[in-house]
Structure 1
Amino acid sequence: MSKIAVTGSLHYDIMLEAPHRPEKGETVMGSACHYKFGGKGGNQAVAAARAGAAVRFAGAVGDDQQGRFLRDQLQQAGVDCAAVSVSETLPSGMSVAITDAEGDYGAVVVSNANQQIALKTFEQPAFWQDVSLLVLQNEVPEAVNLSAAQAARQRGITVCLNAAPARPLSAAFAGCIDLLVVNAIEARDMCGISVQDLTSARTAAESLASRFASVVVTAGEHGVAYSEAGQTRSLAAQKVTLVSTHGAGDCFVGVLCQRLSGGADLSEAVAAANCAAAEHVSRPSH
């Protein structure tokens, strides 16, 4: 069975619920607080594993209670976390997210130990054994992503980047990316096209496809557009009752990559990921 390798962030998430997100200088009385496993890398690894993929994870946590919790959650989801190192100098990564009454959220992330992912991991043949797809995000230093991506390309392994959050990519790193996955905001930041519906999502996907072999642009409640081999398509979002959007993008990427690693084509994988994301946003995020 082919495996997915995921390299990225692990965060101990503090989830707050409030009627609205605070303005500058405002104190808002919240209604609930939850603690959960997070980080885009960790979330995508768990989503792929729960969808049926064999997943290997490379990351870093602190030598603290939060770090032990994060490793335990990976293991419980069936993710191989032998390549998760423990920093002796930095605490585990953390985030605080506020979900408002409409189900939207904003978050603040502190990377901490995620800055110390061991590059030597990617030099070890055992890490790449049976891997067909590498999944990356932008919550860790580009040096980590570049090292992993170059090692993967040398072995003929497909490289997927979920460019979240959006940031400039070096030419060396961009040249390693086979599949780019972005949301509306990230697409706008990378190509200058405002994504407000499926038509503009298709336009953004076509624009980005001039730089990357395959592109997926998620457009929230509108759906998703994708471009590959000169063909651009779109798929409308499923109609659901929104509860929380938190983690929906990570769910989408995890299921997308699980399907691709199992041999599905991009259209099939996007359709499965679209369904999974719709189910995800219709249930509580904790």
Structure 2
Amino acid sequence: MRRLAALAALVVALGACTSTPTEPAADQTPSATSTPSPTESTPPPDPGPTPRVGECHLLSFGQAVSVVGRTEPVRCRRKHTAETYFVGRLKLATKAGHVRRVDSRAAQEQARSTCAARLPRHLGRTPQELRLTMARSVWFTPSPKHAEAGADWFRCDLVVVAGPRRLLVLPRVTKGLGGAPALAMCATAAPGTRAFKRVGCGATHAWKAVSTVDIPGRKLPSKQAVADRMDGPCGDAARANASDPLDFTWSQESPTPEQWDAGQRYGICWVPA
């Protein structure tokens, strides 16, 4: 699944004071230059507020897949679909003395990788365990104009996909929530069928993800090579989850080229729920 990641762009307004020019006397020649008074100076640009860990946000699915800007937080006791679990600073200065744009590939990769690495710690699960959940990290950075004014933060939010283009409403506290059944990954039908839709196990479902299989290599292997690698481990996982070790079935889902390019280097083993 492509990353959900990270809000509507904010625009900073640069204000400036103005004054009314004075009419020169008839026998005077207007001066070519003048010294502005302190009241005529332009105020410094506003970088906007910095996000804080523990803030909650009511994001739509579309806002969650944006990466630039900052939405206003809501009280966590109210309905919300995202919680900020980490706030960091972007490394915008380069060794050559240049300054990266906040929306540059390097800045976004720093935010993406940091947020992904810190999500398991927040939820109290290993990265491998989180593969079998609908929990995702999304990240946000300042708008370019806020960045020009000095904003250099990036924000990591937890969201949970409830179904196609729909986010789960989160509880007031999400730290250590990784084992909650509502986060587990299920599906409406077997992988590879037209009715297959990934949903949280709190929704109506017919299949459940039970294991993952690492796929080595820099390039995505052929479908047959991936299937051969997954066949044994998925069969073992299905047997372990079956009520009858002699009568069980399973399905396996290999990563698509898009998922592989996004960093998913594993396949998923499924069994009937």
TM-score tier (shorter): under 0.3
Which has a greater percent of strand? 1
Q: TM-score, normalised by structure 1?
A: 0.21
